[in-house]
Chain A
Amino acid sequence: MAFPFVRLCPRHVSTGLQVCSYATLSKASRPQEKSSAGPVFQYVGQNKKPTPKVFVWGFSFTGALGIPSFVVPDSGRKKPRKYQLTPYRLETAEQISSAACGYGFSLIASSTKDASKLWGMGLNKDSQLGFQRTQHSRHQSYDYVLEPSPVALPLVNPLQTRVLQVACGRAHSLVLTDREGVFSMGNNSYGQCGRRIVEDEVYSGSHIIHNIEGFAGRVVQVACGQDHSLFLTETGKVLACGWGADGQTGLGHHNISSSPVEVGGDLSGVEVQQISTYGDCSLAVSRDGQLFGWGNSEYRQLASVTEATQINSPRHLPLKGCGKVVQAACGGTQVAVLNDKGEVFVWGYGILGKGPNLSESSTPEVIPSTLFGRSQFNPSVAVTRIRCGLSHFAAVTDRGELFVWGKNVRGCLGIGKRDDQYFPWRVTVPGQVVDVACGVDHMVAMAKSLL
């Protein structure tokens, strides 16, 4: 039998098992281990479902990210983190099904029947997150909520009702439930909360969460603009209330409306399937794929039909080459639509996503799908969800990847740098992104783990 070859391993060698400083047998002469010896580990069973996760990034000093240690560090040695430039995991008690980002605050909701199903964080100076009782006095409310805190909705059956969707505007928020209609809270100086305007009302520390009446049918979607609100019923009708100086309510006048009124114009008789707004321009997508818009058109959002800068009644937008529109997203100065083939069209003003040379367009421009990951190995990648923040865009593909582009306001893009992004760029999220909510300077993404 040959003498087994023995060699001394230096401590620095880190090849697998041979990290030791004494003599050991080399691989060639080690007796072959029986393959059935040794334990077999099981990390995951066959019925494992993907874990839901929430990621936040952007400007943190308003508390909108929901991570208090960014604003008030745990230990004296740490410094406050003003901008979170990459996705950061937010631990939540329940699986979050809906999230919305407003101007400096966020609302996250779970579709559970438990008592706490809605949490808010961020700016609360107009009670847009409800009354958040302070530790010291039960009559005072926090102006800045640093952690996701439950919002007490005045539900008739709190253990039966589920929250379907949340929407946030500049200083107000809307909550859509499945059995009890729409609740609104926050600033009502323009009637955006759908209740009667009270002169000199103090919104800070207010307990009012109003259940909006006046809907003929069940509401299936809500959208918040800067100071106005849009509601979509299951029959396809759109109702609006709030500030109308730019015509964003679409009610045919430029006055304030303090209760929801049905929107007419080119939308009468049309069944709408989706509404979208974030700034002062509003969009609606009908069930047969047509796009209607109204409101502010100073940035050429509606310039394909009219040169007027304020349109107070919905107009049909004939989009050439877009095909059947499936989703629309409206930002502050820019607009994006998604067609049934998964292609994204953008127009408006700002960083539109086709390089620095294209900063303004009044007709839809398609974003090449190679920028969303289409390649020789993946010829059929399509975008499934499109969202707009105030000056940026977000797109989620069918493979669960998140692409963002636009103005990087205080790190809201989440790409690791503070530069503006002129074409779609992947955000590295550890997981598959399901949905994303865009705000002015922060974003919230709902993802699930790969396995």
Chain B
Amino acid sequence: MATPAVRMFRRLEGLFCVYKPSGVHWKLVRDSIETNLLKVLNATPSQPLPQEVRFLAQPSTETEAPKGLTLSATSVPVLSKHPLVSGPEFQNIQVGVGHRLDAFSSGVLVLGVGNGNKTLNDLYRTRVTRDYTLEGEFGTATDDFTHTGGVVERSTYEHITQDKLERVLAMLEGANQKALLMYSNVDMRSQEAYEMAVQGLLGPEGKSAPILTGLRCIHFQPPNFILEVQCLNETQKYLRKVVHEIGLELRSTAVCKGIRRTRDGLFTLQDALTRHHWTAADITQAIRQYHSSKKHRKRSQSPAKKPALKTSEDVTATQQNEANEEAATRWFFFVLFIWLDHTFLGDAPHIRPILFI
């Protein structure tokens, strides 16, 4: 029979996301959440101690003669199961972290508890993109590409206009779109490659170089500018380097003042828990929300055969991501042979390793 603590733990299993503030190592976030959860789990009122029947010798007074041992059956609590003896029920819980965020960046950080860690693994083996907002400033170049680093060079930026910035971003985006095609393992001479290219489904499977699938400028006020980036397989240091290289392409210099992850797969800033909400109650609610939205998604796409085989040409990037992630959750929660039915992907060699989870 599960103890109340274990029942509460079962309610806690799943995925949720938090807002990691900048200046904090991701491990501290994970540790503090684990500590909060442990505190609450171990504070659940434990079941009353089971009783056992023991034959105890009655205490005999001095006056009675020690003629044989009189044992009497008494029901005593099992002391070995007392929390003070065995320790708290949960010493540690498996809290896993999804894509990491380094100390300089902030934003959505996906965490998984218990069984959710397995989903985390599967989810991140598919091609899931992440959205970032990069704040940059022209005029300086530093050794670690941030505004807190040691200044390497300073240069003018009066010649930079939004039009020139757009041209550089278009060039970068073109190069990254080409990289998407180059890193995909599909044979370019096949009809399948053409179909996937039309729908925008070509891309790297598994590890690859960082690729920016979308890049645009949402605010421009020299010397400051803000870029919105959608990327795959990236690190935050790479994104800061991208800001630095944009400065170089514009014949000037640039540093990154802030990186903020606004979306990681299907988790957005709206679902992220801020520091004051890193309590077990809020986390349980977030996980419940995640489970219900997952059921919603499963129900809404069960009539459709495969979400990615849309014939319309306006498949947006988020729809592609949703298709990938829904596909991932389906793989975990449905029987695997459903996917083998799809002849479209049935003979693509790169899908097979994922089916062998």
Indicate with 1 or 0, residue by residue over B259-277, a CB within 8 angstroms of chain A CB atoms. Answer: 0000000000000000000
A428 engages B175 (CB within 8 Å): yes
Q: Do the beta carbons of A38 and B151 come within 8 Å of each other?
A: yes
Chain A residues, Cβ within 8 Å of B200: 370, 375
Kindly provide the distance from the CB of A126 to the nearest chain B CB, expressed in whole angstroms: 37
* Cross-interface CB contact of A354 among B155, B189, B194, cutoff 8 Å: B194
Query: Is there contact, CB below 8 Å, between A376 and B316?
Result: yes
Min CB distance, A212 to chain B, in Å? 41
Q: Which of B185-202 contact A (CB under 8 A)?
A: 188-191, 193-195, 197-200
Residue numbers in A under 8 Å from B112 (CB-CB): none
Q: Is B299 engaged at the interface, CB distance under 8 Å to the other chain?
A: no
Q: How far is the CA of A39 from the CA of B141 in the complex (A)?
A: 13
Residues of A within 8 A of B167 (CB): 399-400, 432, 450-451
Known: A419-B189, A420-B189, A451-B164. A368 touches B159 (CB 8 A): no
Which residues on B sit within 8 Å (CB–CB) of A368?
198, 313
In the complex, which residues 207-221 of chain B have their Cβ closer than 8 Å to any Cβ of chain A? 213-216
Among A42-50, A149-157, A321-329, the one that faces the other chain is A42-50
B73-81, B244-252, B289-297: which lies at the A interface? B244-252
| Whole-angstrom distance between the Cβ of B240 and the nearest chain A Cβ | 13
A115 to chain B, nearest CB (A): 34
State whether the Cβ of A199 lies closer than 8 Å to any Cβ in chain B: no
A423 touches B194 (CB 8 A): yes
Q: Provide the residues of chain A in CB contact with B122, threshold 8 Å.
A: none
Shortest CB–CB separation between residue B72 and chain A, in angstroms?
Answer: 71
Choice from A17, A40, A378 contacting B143 with Cβ under 8 Å? A17
Contact of B199 among A370, A378, A419 (CB under 8 A): A370
Q: Known: A42-B156, A450-B171, A450-B249. Contact between A17 and B317, CB under 8 A?
A: no
Known A15-B144, A27-B150, A378-B173; judge A45-B189 contact (CB<8 A).
no
Q: How far is the CB of A392 from chain B (nearest CB, A)?
A: 15
B181 proximal to A (CB < 8 A)? yes
Q: Is A3 engaged at the interface, CB distance under 8 Å to the other chain?
A: no
Q: What A residues does B168 contact at CB under 8 A?
A: 450
| Nearest CB of chain B from residue A18's CB, rounded to whole Å | 8
What string of 1s and 0s marks CB contacts (under 8 Å) between A336-361 and chain B? 00000000000000000011110000
Interface pair B164/A450, CB less than 8 Å apart: yes
Q: Residue on B with the closest CB to A450?
A: B167
Q: Which of A38, A46, A355, A419 contacts B191 (CB 8 A)?
A: A355
Q: How far is the CA of A144 from the CA of B40 in the complex (A)?
A: 86
Question: A30 and B150 in contact (CB under 8 A), knowing A368-B313, A375-B214, A377-B214?
Answer: yes
A16 at the interface (CB under 8 A from B): yes
Is B31 at the interface (CB under 8 A from chain A)?
Answer: no
Contacts of A40 in B (CB 8 A): 154-156
B144: nearest residue on chain A (CB-CB)? A16
A400→B170 contact, CB < 8 A: yes
Q: Which residues of the other chain, B, contact A43 by a CB distance below 8 angstroms? A: 155-156, 251-252
Chain B residue at minimal CB-CB distance from A432:
B167
Is A16 a contact partner of B150 (Cβ separation < 8 A)? Answer: yes
Contact across chains for A46 and B159 when beta carbons are under 8 A apart:
yes
In the bound complex, do residue B215 and residue A41 qualify as a contact, i.e. CB atoms below 8 Å apart? Answer: no
Chain A: residues with CB nearer than 8 A to chain B? 15-17, 27, 30, 33, 35, 38-46, 48, 354-357, 368-371, 373, 375-378, 399-401, 419-423, 425-426, 428, 432, 450-451
A–B pairs, 23, beta carbons within 8 Å: A16-B142, A27-B150, A33-B150, A41-B153, A43-B251, A45-B159, A48-B251, A355-B195, A370-B313, A373-B174, A373-B177, A375-B177, A377-B215, A399-B174, A422-B189, A422-B194, A423-B197, A423-B198, A426-B177, A426-B178, A428-B175, A432-B171, A450-B167
Which 6 interchain pairs have the tightest Cβ spacing? A16-B143, A355-B194, A377-B214, A44-B251, A376-B316, A43-B251
For the complex with contacts A377-B230, A426-B174, 4 further pairs of A-B residues with Cβ separation under 8 Å are: A375-B213, A428-B178, A432-B171, A450-B164
